[in-house]
Amino acid sequence: MGQYIELTHSNFDETVKEGVALVDFWAPWCGPCRMLAPVIDELADEYHGKAKICKVNTDEQEELGARFGIRSIPTILFMVNGEIKDQLVGASSKPVLQEKLEALLGKS
């Protein structure tokens, strides 16, 4: 059973440097973020061993939010080998997230 990876300043680069990663920038007080949370959990299960499903709490990791220019949450970055390939701002549906992950997995 997969579980999302909680990213911090200390483990971010090491975690996303290889393979495909979905990085969800969120905060506990954000309604759309809370709506998206079960989808992120499901994706972590479904993509265990294929892609890294990660979350960054922007309240606790302000420097990461600033580093990536996160202006509103939720913001989801899709990364391949540490490089941003796509980005979504706002709550998205599971099929949209799956489609983007599948496209990146096909290219990696």
Q: Catalytic residue numbers?
A: 30, 33
* Separation CA 65–CA 17 (nearest Å): 18
Of 44, 17, 20, 30, the closest CA to residue 89 belongs to 30
